[in-house]
Structure 1
Amino acid sequence: MKKKIIVIGIESSCDDTAVSIMRCNEILSNIVIHQHVHKKYGGVVPELSARLHDEELLEAVNKSISTAKIKQNDIDVVSCTIGPGLINSILVGYSFSKSLAMGLDIPIIPVDHIQAHILVHFIKNANFNNSFPKFPFLSLVISGGHTQIIKVDGFFKMKVLGSTLDDALGETIDKIARKIGFSYPGGETIEMYSKYGNNKKFTFPKPLIKGLDFSFSGFKTHILKFIEEKTKKEPFFIKKNIYDICASIQKSISDILIEKINMAVLKTNINKIILSGGVSSNKEIINNFSIYAKKNNCDLFVPKKCLATDNGAMIAITGFLKYKYNMFSSNNIAPYSKYKKIYFPNLTTV
């Protein structure tokens, strides 16, 4: 393997067209084009997302190459998201990546989106503490489409200990935010308002799910009904209590996550925890996990915001590590919208 391999990572699993170029584990460029058009629909429109990826990928790649100050022929390998996510959006990115790899006569390495969120922690200076987690560790993946606790014994030796049985956390937060009256995506708005509220003003029941699995459907429904009933009795209830509502929601979510991760720590006897995925950039969640980690003598690793949300760098680092360990795949792997063990046998469920 070349001493300083250059990888381009292409991510198109949802509504961000993201391209990054890395030299080994160092970011040279990290371009993200956000599809703001979905805001007016209150959520991501899959067909529109795929069409916009098709229009924006070439621009993102050219900008990434220019920012990295390299030439196209300097690229050694193309890595791209193969799943899970919106299938048509993934197909656009995968087809583009195969064409790029073919044109440059270099390998293409398909990357699992969830694994990439975890392995982003091995990018140079990816974490707030600028260090790498040591194996084994527990990863809490929390994003718009995924909520999982994964035991990580190696770069590609992972076991799913718990997953959401219904809605993902990010999806849940966005639906609650919409009910409150915030535009999509609403997670950051809830976080912003929560800073000025009393997080003990309202209490919401925790989902009674055994083990390490999650369930947010009932939690979401309870809050939606709570807001509905209160608003019927008092039309200006939301306006009068907006800060306290948001703060109470944030606390409830943090309590659910910490309770589950604490169970995982006790079950596995592993005291190293990493947060991954877009929701891991939530400052209230980070703060509560920091308090938990300090109190329980755990090492906590949190990615910087630009590497927590979907990005090309997480795809590039995973591609680099697979290249380094000669983990090549067929170019004919079919993209998938949900996790498929057949493509990534080391990512197993209990």
Structure 2
Amino acid sequence: MKKNIDTRRDDLVVLGIESSCDDTSAAVLRGHTLLSNVIASQAVHTAYGGVVPELASRAHEQNIVPVVSEAVSRAGLTLKDIDAIAFTRGPGLLGSLLVGVNYTKGLALSLGIPMVEVNHLHAHVLAHFIQEEGEAHDEPDFPFLCLLVSGGNSQIILVKSPEEMQIIGQTIDDAAGEAFDKCAKVMGLGYPGGPIVNRLANEGDSKAFAFARPNVAGYDYSFSGLKTSFLYTLRDELEKNPNFVEERKADLCASLQATVIEILMKKLRLATKELGIKQVALAGGVSANTGLRAAFEDHARRYGWKIFIPKFAYTTDNAAMVAMTGYFSLKAGRTTAMDAVPFARVTM
């Protein structure tokens, strides 16, 4: 039996489900207010230096039922109180996405409520609209620019509304997070490399080494040349001193991080100037980088930007941002049919 849902309500209760990669997450929102956000991470991938898709999908199968149950319980609700279920349809690992999509279908059908597909990248952008009880914060006004940086994406997005987003610049090869991870790997720092590079960078000299910076037209990015330059530096220095990496890893990380941040901010400065938009948001996994956050704060002072930096809890993959995006879609009258299938790659 279908539940009658009045999508004009501002207090719609949305359950969000995220399973695009290696984190199983469920969250409950009432309107813009977060009631719960539960994440089960998968430590098994650390030994392999990266996410193993087959292991990820198996772990999602084990985690999704208890994670959803815990999220609803922490929200102080029951499943009967849920008005709709938002789920990540893509992009991501197909095996992982399938677990979330199929679980959502079964649960939505059993409860007689609509399900709403969510673009994972949209969700990162709209995480800035999540409000926590007792901690109200400003939300961006439309239009605004968002720098979305992660292991797989480096994009400048013109956000015209919750439903209309335009990628105006993106990487033509590697993403910023991928550059961090791969450079960390060749130094033997472990996985994921980004947080390790960030920690060591705080102890090093950001001007110790000079790495190549790309000259790409428009607002697009390129990080392959930087990565190659970094590898050549290691090769040349290791020939002279076998202990070079161990002795200079903090300086290497600081110089690498500073170069990546300058590449990112240079194009973002250009976009804000040419488009005349001074509301600028940061999103994605690399938005947890303390150096990048500091650069945003510096640019806010120097250029008069009004910036929006996510809480650390919303930088990684999480269902709160999925529920928030689903809420906007539901308010716009968009729901998803039961024959929906996940996509590994989707555009904005």
TM-score band by shorter chain is over 0.9
1:320 match? 327
Which whole-Å CA distance do the structure 2 matches of 1:119 and 1:273 have between them?
A: 13
Match of 1:10 among 11, 17, 42: 17
Residue 214 of structure 2 is aligned to residue 220 of structure 1: no
State how 1:1-350 maps to structure 2 within 5 Å. Answer: 1=6, 2-125=9-132, 130-340=137-347, 347=348
Letter in 2 for 1:29: S
Which whole-Å CA distance do the structure 1 matches of 2:10 and 2:179 have between them?
A: 44
Which whole-Å CA distance do the structure 1 matches of 2:25 and 2:344 have between them?
A: 18
Letter in 2 for 1:280: S
Normalised by the length of structure 2, the TM-score is 0.94
For the Cα contact (< 8 Å) 1:82–1:336, is it kept in 2? yes
Which whole-Å CA distance do the structure 1 matches of 2:182 and 2:24 have between them?
A: 23
Which whole-Å CA distance do the structure 1 matches of 2:333 and 2:283 have between them?
A: 25
Which whole-Å CA distance do the structure 2 matches of 1:338 and 1:218 have between them?
A: 25
Letter in 2 for 1:323: L
CA deviation profile, 1:205-253 (whole Å, cap 9, x unmatched): 1112111111112211221222122122211111111111111111101
SS in 2 for 1:27: strand
Which whole-Å CA distance do the structure 2 matches of 1:129 and 1:195 have between them?
A: 31
How far off its partner does 1:268 sit?
1.0
For the Cα contact (< 8 Å) 1:191–1:283, is it kept in 2? yes
SS in 2 for 1:85: coil
Which whole-Å CA distance do the structure 2 matches of 1:95 and 1:251 have between them?
A: 42
SS in 2 for 1:177: helix
For the Cα contact (< 8 Å) 1:125–1:131, is it kept in 2? no
Letter in 2 for 1:216: F
What CA RMSD, in Å, does the superposition of the two structures yield over aligned residues? 1.5
Which whole-Å CA distance do the structure 2 matches of 1:271 and 1:131 have between them?
A: 15
How far off its partner does 1:125 sit?
4.7
How far off its partner does 1:329 sit?
3.0
Which whole-Å CA distance do the structure 2 matches of 1:224 and 1:105 have between them?
A: 55
CA deviation profile, 1:77-130 (whole Å, cap 9, x unmatched): 00000011111111111111111101111000000001010111111159x992
For the Cα contact (< 8 Å) 2:34–2:132, is it kept in 1? no
SS in 1 for 2:346: coil
Q: List gaps (5 residues or longer) in structure 2.
A: 1-5
Q: List gaps (5 residues or longer) in structure 1.
A: 341-346
For the Cα contact (< 8 Å) 1:129–1:301, is it kept in 2? no
For the Cα contact (< 8 Å) 1:85–1:145, is it kept in 2? no
Letter in 1 for 2:62: E
SS in 2 for 1:62: helix
Change (3 A) 1:41 1:96: same
Letter in 1 for 2:232: K
Which whole-Å CA distance do the structure 2 matches of 1:81 and 1:244 have between them?
A: 39
Per mean C-alpha deviation after superposition, the further-off stretch among 291-300 and 322-331 is 322-331
Of all paired residues, the percent bearing the same amino acid is 39
Which whole-Å CA distance do the structure 1 matches of 2:72 and 2:232 have between them?
A: 49
For the Cα contact (< 8 Å) 2:114–2:336, is it kept in 1? no
How far off its partner does 1:332 sit?
2.0
